[in-house]
Structure 1
Amino acid sequence: MCGRYAVTTDPALLAAEIDAVDETAGTELDVPGFNVAPTTNIVTVVARHSREEPEAPAARRLRAMRWGLLPHWQKTLSGPPLFNARAESIAEKPAFRTAVKSKRCLIPMDGWYEWQVLEDGPKPKKQPTYLTPIDGTRLYVAGLWSVWRPQGAGLDVPPTLSATVLTTDAVGPLREVHDRMPLVLTPESFDAWLNPDGPADPALLAPPALDVAERIEIRPVSALVNSVKNDGPQLTERTEPGSEPGQLSLL
């Protein structure tokens, strides 16, 4: 599961890093954001054809989207945000089966948060944990996106773009934290995943290789991350479990 994450790279720098066109200008984004939560605007990477040259190859584009997918048939913006989707069942789920055909995206992250259960019981104690590449590089997580407009609205009404994070079975040492994890993709699979002209290879929906998981640090962090009102680099700093009052949360 992934319900919070951190991303600190300016979209312009990110676009240069992955050879993409930055289309996020003029959009309110939580960057840098050390406690990104569902329903906020996030940076995504898509591949789309140019309207002016539809026959030209699809180009990578950075787009701002609401975190929490809105199926095109949903009547209103209200309702629980679909911020996660299980990779193994998206082809069958009505909310995702259209998007998986041609609207796949990447969601860049510095790392994501999980709450590791330390003590079971009626009120289990959970340790906030930050999972991030050991070498300080970035993660690119598989996602789906959609275009939503209010029912009856014409094409002149600006659409709401929204996205969801795909999750899969946790791998290797990450299973000690949670049984699920975001579906982390490697650079060599980006083009195949983003390709808007056909379905994705089912192999791309499999859990990442063990070596991908072994390059991710499991870092206990402050209980400050429990509240979406808190932000800042202190949320990702290592702390020892139980070293601060209330760190072992009862979420």
Structure 2
Amino acid sequence: MCGRYAVTTDPAKLAAEIDAVNEVPDLPAPEAPAQQTLDSVDAPVRSRWENYNLAPTTTVLTVVDRHAHDDADPSDPTRRIRAMRWGLVPPWAKEIGKGSLFNARAETAAEKASFRSSVKSKRCLVPMDGWYEWRKAVADDGKTRKVPYFMSPADHTRLFMGGLWSVWRPRDAGPDEPPLLSCTILTTDSVGDLREIHDRMPLIMPSQWWSDWLNPDAPAPAEMFAPPARELADAIEIREVAPLVNRVANNGPQLLDPVS
């Protein structure tokens, strides 16, 4: 599964990096907290989008290919950066809910009512620096505890995970009220050494597949929903990190430091 991750880019930089249109409105940087707890990290998040401890229901960056409403050539969708709520809300839902749909199993998503329509025409990419996972371990006192790990590319490049997205409007919404865009991250069986941490992992989407994956006018090939190739998994570095990440309130680059 994938319930926490880190990303340190902003929409404008991401758009320039992958030649996309930035559709994310400018937002002010958050203020540093007036007081931090003893076990919190020292440094506040430096910008609105630099987040080392993203959790479900947070607004996250996504990549989509969509046609313009006034596009005269429907065969030419445009790559776009959009902000979405992490935790997919199906179009038919009566209310937003609590974000339980932050992950979807890649092998069964097309069979689930919550994801079926998104699999057909609303697939996205979720950029991240890496993701966290917890491995069960037995302590000296015999009790089981969960040890956090951070998985990221050994060459420090960015990861793009396969995801699904949706458009939701409350039933009493006015004609000018914007819809809620929300997304989920697809997961698959872990590959290689990643299986030692957890039996599930986010679905890594290699760049050569992006056009077919994001194409809103055609289904994605079945092989794109399969576990990643072994070489992709072997390029992921696994390192144990401090339990600071266990609290969503803790946020900063210190969360990525390896435990000595």
Q: Same fold (TM over 0.5)?
A: yes
Tell me: CA distance 1:196–1:100, structure 2 relative to 1, closer, same or farther (3 Å).
same
The aligned counterpart of 1:3 is: 3
Task: Judge which range, 106-115 or 28-37, deviates more.
Answer: 28-37
SS in 1 for 2:119: helix
The aligned counterpart of 2:154 is: 134
Is 1:185 aligned with 2:205? yes
Equivalent in 22, 34, 39 of residue 57 of structure 2: 39
Q: Structure 1 residue 117: deviation in Å?
A: 1.2
SS in 1 for 2:164: strand
SS in 2 for 1:72: coil
Equivalent in 116, 120, 130 of residue 135 of structure 2: 116
Q: Structure 1 residue 51: deviation in Å?
A: 1.5
Deviation beyond 6 Å, 4+ runs, structure 1: none
After TM superposition, the structure 1 = structure 2 runs for residues 26-65 of structure 1, keeping only pairs within 5 Å, are 26=26, 30-56=48-74, 57-65=76-84
Is contact 1:70-1:81 (8 Å) kept?
no
Is 1:207 aligned with 2:254? no
CA distance in 1, matches of 2:241, 2:128: 17
The aligned counterpart of 2:92 is: 73
Task: Judge which range, 228-237 or 80-89, deviates more.
Answer: 80-89
Is 1:233 aligned with 2:249? no
| Aligned partner letter, 2:149 | T
| Aligned partner letter, 1:170 | S
Q: Structure 1 residue 122: deviation in Å?
A: 9.5
What's the CA shift string for 1:55-98, capped at 9, x where partnerless? 25001100000000000000012244310000000111000001
After TM superposition, the structure 1 = structure 2 runs for residues 169-180 of structure 1, keeping only pairs within 5 Å, are 169-180=189-200
Aligned residues: 240
Tell me: CA distance 1:74–1:237, structure 2 relative to 1, closer, same or farther (3 Å).
same
Tell me: CA distance 1:31–1:80, structure 2 relative to 1, closer, same or farther (3 Å).
closer
Give the unaligned 5+ runs of structure 2: 29-46
CA distance in 2, matches of 1:14, 1:41: 16
The aligned counterpart of 1:245 is: none
CA distance in 1, matches of 2:197, 2:88: 26
Tell me: CA distance 1:228–1:205, structure 2 relative to 1, closer, same or farther (3 Å).
same
Is contact 2:5-2:129 (8 Å) kept?
yes
**TM-score between the two structures when normalised by the length of structure 1:** 0.91
CA distance in 2, matches of 1:198, 1:153: 31
Q: Structure 1 residue 153: deviation in Å?
A: 3.0
| Aligned partner letter, 1:94 | A
CA distance in 2, matches of 1:27, 1:2: 26
CA distance in 1, matches of 2:77, 2:68: 7
Q: Structure 1 residue 123: deviation in Å?
A: 5.2
Is contact 2:27-2:48 (8 Å) kept?
no
Tell me: CA distance 1:219–1:96, structure 2 relative to 1, closer, same or farther (3 Å).
same
CA distance in 2, matches of 1:54, 1:96: 29
Is contact 1:27-1:64 (8 Å) kept?
no
Is 1:100 aligned with 2:129? no
**TM-score between the two structures when normalised by the length of structure 2:** 0.88
Tell me: CA distance 1:162–1:100, structure 2 relative to 1, closer, same or farther (3 Å).
same
